[in-house]
Amino acid sequence: MGRVADILKRKVAALHTIGPEASVNDAVETMVRHGVGSLVVMDGGDMVGIFTERDVLKRVALTGLPTRMTAVSQVMTREVTVVEPDLTIEECMERMTQLRVRHLPVVSGGEVVGMISIGDVVQHCLSEREVEVRHLTDYIAGRYS
């Protein structure tokens, strides 16, 4: 079925980050500009959290915090589950389902090397199924060698 590394190879921009002292407003603008649902929060070279659309809804919108005056560090998710590039797509899907998360940072050798989303996983699975269907169709039609 493939590995997380296979998905990262296909992505144009695999990682978007923000600093912990940036405002929530800046973080939301960054997510909108890049069309992503989460940002890895980096302090220097260290990952200190993840900021997601859910964080905006649960910790900012519902509580009425001012987005321009609230630092990302105040509302980010600090307990970050990560995956490794050699993890299978199936294991990644299981982890996302069990934890009810849609974004997982990818870490290799202690360094954040990318981000994988549930959309990336679904797209990868659909691509694999299309290849399987094409091969089976060619086999049935006698075009398979």
Read off the pLDDT of residues 89-119 as tens digits, 9 standing for 90 and up. 999 999 999 999 999 999 999 999 999 999 8
Confidence of residue 19 (pLDDT cuts 50, 70, 90): very high
Q: Quick one: pLDDT at residue 10?
A: 81
User: Domains in the chain, start-ordered, CATH in brackets?
Assistant: 4-140 (3.10.580.10)
In the predicted model, is pLDDT for residue 138 greater than 70?
no
Confidence of residue 48 (pLDDT cuts 50, 70, 90): very high
Q: Quick one: pLDDT at residue 130?
A: 60
In the predicted model, is pLDDT for residue 50 greater than 90?
yes
* pLDDT cut 90: percent of the chain above it: 73
- For the stretch 4-8, contacts whose Cβ atoms lie closer than 8 Å and that sit 24 or more positions apart, written own/partner, are 4/83, 4/84, 4/85, 4/86, 4/87, 4/88, 4/89, 4/92, 4/106, 4/116, 5/85, 5/86, 6/89, 6/124, 7/89, 7/116, 7/120, 7/121, 7/124, 8/85, 8/106, 8/113, 8/114, 8/116
Q: Quick one: pLDDT at residue 131?
A: 56
The DSSP-derived string for 14-71 is: ---EE-TTSBHHHHHHHHHHHT-SEEEEEETTEEEEEEEHHHIIIIIITTT--TTTSB
Confidence of residue 29 (pLDDT cuts 50, 70, 90): very high
